[in-house]
Structures are given as C-alpha cells and as structure tokens.
C-alpha cells in the first residue's frame, strides 16, 4: 500500500503520527501527575494544561511539516521527475537544482548524473540518427516502388487491423473513412465478406480472390488476399478501375510492422505504448462551453508512441455567430476565414470518424470535450471514447504543486511551440502530442504500464481540473 502513496503524503502522515504520539505522551504524563497529586481541585488546571499542550504540539508539527514539505519533499519530487524526464523522455536541458538547495549534496549528485545521462543519450541519438537515415532511404525506395505499381496495397494483422497502407490504398480507403494506421478494416470493408475471404486464405495457405463490399455498401472491391509466409497477418491488393485509383493520389507509405503482434486485451489492461491516440485541440469564440462555439479543430494521431505525420485532421468551423474581437486577438481567426466553412454538425461528425478507434487526448480535456458533448445530439454521434488529459498526466509525473499549463509542460519537456502556431488548433495539438510521446515512457518508468493504471492514478488529481475550470 505504501507504494501507492506519494512521498509528500507519506511525510504528512509521518508528522500526523508524530503529533498524535506527542499528544498521547503529554496526556499520559499529565494523567500520571494528576493521579499522584491526589487533589481533585487541580483537575481544571491539568485539563487546561493538556489542551494547551495539544494545540502547541499540533502547531509545532504543522509548522515543521510545512517547512519540510516545501524544502525537502517538494524538491525531492521535482528532482525525481526531472531525472525521469532525462532518462526516459530525451530531455537534455540542465536540471533545475535551485529548489533543492537544502538537500545537501543530493542536488549536485543529481545534476552530475543528469549530465551523464544527457551525454549517453546524445551518443545514442547520434547512432540512432545514422541508422534512421539508412532506414529512411530504404523506406523512400520502397514507397517509390509501391507508388509506381498501380495497385492499392494494405497489410493487415490477423485481427483485421491496418498495419501498412500505401499512397494508392490511402485514396481508396478515404472513400469510406480517413485512412488510419491500426484502424479496424471494418471501417472500410464489409467485415463478413472480408472474414470469409480470410478464412479461405487461412485454410488454403494460398492467394485468394474475392469481391467484398465497402463498409457503406456503396461499392464492391475486387480484392486479392495474399499470405505473409510464416508471419501473422496478410496483404490485401485492391484491383479494378472502380477502386478509384489515380496517379495524383500518391501519398507517403505508412506502416508499423509491430502491429502484426499487437495485443487485443481489454482497454484497461492494454499497455500504454500499444494504444492509438488522437490528440486534439480546439479554438473557440470564448471560454464558456455552455454558450460559446468552436471555430477550429486540429488533431494528430499517435500510434505506438510516435506521431503519424500523414494522419492529421484540421478544419475551420463556422460558429454561426460573430467571433468576438477579443477571441480573434488570441487565435487570429476572423469571421471572413470561417465564412463558407462547415458548421459544427458536419465538422464534429468528420472528427468523430477520425477519432473513433482511439483514445482521445487533450490538454484540459473537459473544456474541449464540453463543446463536443453539447452538440452531440445535433451531430448524431456519441463521444464515448476513452479520454486522457495531459494536465492530469503532468500532475502524476511532476506533482500537483507544479504549474500544469501547456507552456510550462512544454518547457519542462523540451518541446518547442513556434510562436506563430501557439493558440492555433493544430499548433497546440502538435505540442500536446509531442508532450504525450515524451510522457508515455516516463509513466511506464513509474510502473504505470497499462491504461487502467494510468486512469486510476489521474483520478486522484481530478480536483486539479475542477479548480482549473
């Protein structure tokens, strides 16, 4: 149980125990003195002395605890979080040890270790960069090869989740839903027909041809399903002119082969690094979700701890009312810019489809989600996706006493927001996504490996969000 209590709470409980012990000892001593005096008329004096001693002990313990909390517990908490950021999130800036000046040599030792970690991380980063450059060259050649072949190609896991898609496949998939890595193929194809074809593939172990309807039933695709040899999963080739292929539709090759072995446990039991996230932000006409309106939505997908650059959602939204000048001064969006843009009903439906299979992430999520929930009936969608809030994740990692604004969090984790993109939906969404990618390994280093464990830990700080809003 003690592992579930924070350092500051354990120290607070220690001082509570110390205060109770002091009161008990004082009460026992006064009772012994009163009993030996054998003078009943002194009872009021002994009781007064006991009460005075009780208040004095409580005040003394509270005062010493406050000093200890401010000068020992909080600095230790900050040092631990800073060390974890440098060990697991690639932060290289100098460790702030000013607040730990009363910890003796601990701060200097932590700074020295942080420097060693930084040097090791730099060497590792250089080695990774060299390998990445080689892999990127191979990826570019593969992408060019697939782009030149006029067949849309998708690789899927045995659970029918997308593991790879090329530029032509992106154009085909987009006819049904936004193309997304790790998305279920049921978003694009009739699952009954696909499973029947896959069953024949598994039984025969050889290439299979099939006609499968799209998920909407609006068209039929000629598919070739090919096995991956000894590896799990299979390849789908979309054939036929009706597949909507066009040379100008070429887009980057998107893949993550680790998804072939992805786990399929209940959400709460799944590892953080194996989840798909949609990180989003909104810009609005004001700060009152019950009456103001959304004017812009920006979102990025994060799969297995990395941002998928080609999978983004961004749109201006016509709020149906004038945008106050004070709001325009913040985000730069004017009435002219939103004229002719989709309203919230259409924009929210498209965003919901983009985020349908992922954990939704935002900075101060209740604020942004409140706007979407308010219009849920109009849009005809239900926002029942699981939600994580980077404000609460920050409180878990760095302590509730720290600042948890997006700017403070970016500064802490070495994430840069270009000034021109601050207070734009996509700019803030990207900053939040980069912050999330750095916090995921830090959470795992804290022993919070599963979504359920993180969710339980964030609930302990829910009051922080209530106060913020």
To 10 degrees, what angle do helices 7-37 and 43-68 make?
Answer: 160
What pLDDT score was predicted for residue 1? 46
Same domain, 349 and 421: yes
pLDDT tens figures, 120-176: 655 665 666 677 666 666 666 655 555 555 578 899 999 999 999 988 899 899 999
Q: What percentage of the chain reaches a pLDDT higher than 70?
A: 88
Identify the bridge partners of residue 313 per DSSP, sorted by sequence position. Answer: 299
Same domain, 287 and 419: yes
Domain ends where: 222, 239, 259?
Answer: 259
Rounded mean pLDDT of 405-419? 92
Q: What percentage of the chain reaches a pLDDT higher than 90?
A: 61
What pLDDT score was predicted for residue 257? 85
CA dihedral for 352, 353, 354, 355, sign (positive or negative): positive
Same domain, 239 and 287: no
Above 80 in pLDDT, residue 361?
Answer: yes
- Using a cut of 0.85, tell me whether the model's pTM lies above it: no
Domain ends where: 118, 135, 159?
Answer: 118
Same domain, 428 and 329: yes
Would residue 393 count as lying in a domain? yes
Segments in 149-190 forming alpha helices (H): 167-173
Same domain, 295 and 392: yes
Same domain, 251 and 272: no
Give the confidence band of 82 by pLDDT, cuts at 50, 70, 90.
Answer: confident
Same domain, 309 and 441: yes
Say how many C-beta atoms besides its own lie within 10 A of residue 25's C-beta.
12
Would residue 221 count as lying in a domain? yes
What pLDDT score was predicted for residue 122? 58
Spatial separation of the C-alpha atoms in residues 182 and 301, rounded to whole Å: 10
What pLDDT score was predicted for residue 298? 98
Tally the domains of the chain.
3
For residue 231, what is the domain's CATH number? 3.30.450.20
Would you give the DSSP letter of residue 214? Answer: B
Would residue 92 count as lying in a domain? yes
What pLDDT score was predicted for residue 242? 47
Among candidates 21, 16, 26, 113, which has minimal Cα distance to 68? 16
Radius of gyration of the chain (CA): 29
Spatial separation of the C-alpha atoms in residues 140 and 403, rounded to whole Å: 42
Q: Which domain holds residue 312?
A: 264-468
Same domain, 315 and 252: no
Q: Which residues of 271-297 are buried (b: 16+ CB within 10 A; e: fewer)?
A: bbebbbbbbbbbbbbeeebeebbbbbb
Would residue 219 count as lying in a domain? yes
Above 90 in pLDDT, residue 55?
Answer: yes
Among candidates 426, 405, 430, 429, which has minimal Cα distance to 333? 426
- Residue 432 sits at φ, ψ, to 5 deg, of -65, -40
For residue 331, what is the domain's CATH number? 3.30.420.10
What pLDDT score was predicted for residue 304? 92
Cα angle 383, 386, 388 (rounded to 5 degrees) comes to: 115
Spatial separation of the C-alpha atoms in residues 256 and 177, rounded to whole Å: 20
Same domain, 339 and 443: yes
Give the confidence band of 449 by pLDDT, cuts at 50, 70, 90.
Answer: very high
Same domain, 435 and 342: yes
Rounded mean pLDDT of 287-305? 96
Would residue 142 count as lying in a domain? no
pLDDT tens figures, 224-271: 999 987 778 999 999 864 444 444 445 568 888 888 887 677 899 999
Same domain, 284 and 155: no
What pLDDT score was predicted for residue 247? 47
Identify the bridge partners of residue 224 per DSSP, sorted by sequence position. Answer: 209, 237
3-state SS, residue 32 = helix
Would residue 130 count as lying in a domain? no
Same domain, 97 and 179: no
Would residue 62 count as lying in a domain? yes
Rounded mean pLDDT of 324-330? 95
Of 187-191, 259-263, 288-292, least confident by mean pLDDT is 259-263
Spatial separation of the C-alpha atoms in residues 186 and 155, rounded to whole Å: 14
Domain ends where: 224, 259, 294?
Answer: 259
Q: Is 59 left (phi over 0), alpha (psi -120 to 50) or beta?
A: alpha
Above 50 in pLDDT, residue 186?
Answer: yes
What pLDDT score was predicted for residue 150? 58
């Amino acid at each position: 149980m003690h592992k579930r209590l924070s350092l500051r709470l354990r120290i607070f409980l220690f001082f509570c125990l110390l205060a109770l012990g002091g009161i008990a000892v004082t009460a026992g001593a006064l009772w012994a003195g009163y009993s030996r005096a054998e003078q009943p008329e002194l009872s009021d004096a002994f009781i007064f002395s006991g009460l005075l001693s009780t208040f004095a002990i409580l005040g003394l313990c509270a005062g010493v605890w406050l000093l200890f909390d401010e000068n020992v517990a909080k600095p230790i908490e900050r040092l631990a979080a800073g060390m974890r950021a440098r060990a697991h999130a690639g932060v290289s800036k100098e460790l702030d040890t000013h607040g730990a000046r009363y910890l003796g040599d601990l701060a200097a030792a932590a700074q020295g270790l942080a420097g060693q970690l930084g040097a090791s991380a730099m060497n590792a980063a250089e080695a990774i960069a060299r390998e990445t450059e080689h892999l990127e060259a191979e990826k570019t050649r593969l992408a060019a090869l697939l782009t030149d072949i006029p067949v849309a190609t998708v690789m899927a896991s045995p659970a029918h989740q997308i593991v790879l898609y090329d530029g032509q496949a992106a154009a085909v998939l987009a006819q049904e839903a936004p193309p997304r890595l790790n998305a279920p193929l049921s978003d694009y194809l009739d699952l009954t027909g696909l499973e029947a074809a896959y069953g024949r593939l598994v039984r025969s172990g050889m290439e299979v041809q099939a006609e499968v309807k799209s998920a909407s039933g609006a068209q039929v695709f000629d598919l070739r399903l090919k096995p991956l040899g000894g590896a799990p999963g299979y390849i789908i080739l979309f054939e036929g002119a009706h597949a909507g292929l066009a040379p100008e539709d070429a887009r980057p090759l998107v893949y993550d082969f680790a998804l072939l072995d992805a786990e399929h446990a209940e959400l709460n039991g799944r590892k953080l690094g194996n989840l798909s996230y949609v990180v989003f932000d909104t810009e609005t006409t004001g700060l009152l979700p019950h009456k103001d309106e959304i004017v812009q939505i920006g979102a990025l997908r994060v799969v297995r701890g990395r941002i998928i650059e080609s999978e983004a959602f961004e749109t201006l939204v016509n709020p149906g009312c004038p945008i106050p000048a004070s709001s325009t001064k913040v985000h730069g969006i004017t009435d002219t810019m939103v004229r002719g843009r989709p309203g919230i009903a259409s924009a929210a439906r498209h965003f919901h489809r983009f985020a349908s299979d992922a954990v939704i992430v935002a900075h101060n999520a209740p604020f942004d989600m409140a706007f979407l929930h308010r219009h849920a009936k109009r849009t005809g969608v239900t926002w029942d996706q699981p939600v994580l809030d980077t404000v609460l994740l920050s409180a878990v990692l760095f302590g509730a006493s720290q600042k948890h604004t997006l700017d403070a969090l970016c500064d802490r984790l070495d994430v840069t927001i270009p000034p021109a993109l601050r207070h734009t939906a996509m700019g803030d969404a990207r900053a939040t996504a980069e912050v999330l990618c750095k916090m995921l390994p830090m959470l795992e280093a804290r022993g919070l490996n599963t979504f359920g464990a993180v969710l339980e830990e964030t609930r302990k700080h829910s009051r922080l969000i209530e106060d913020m809003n």
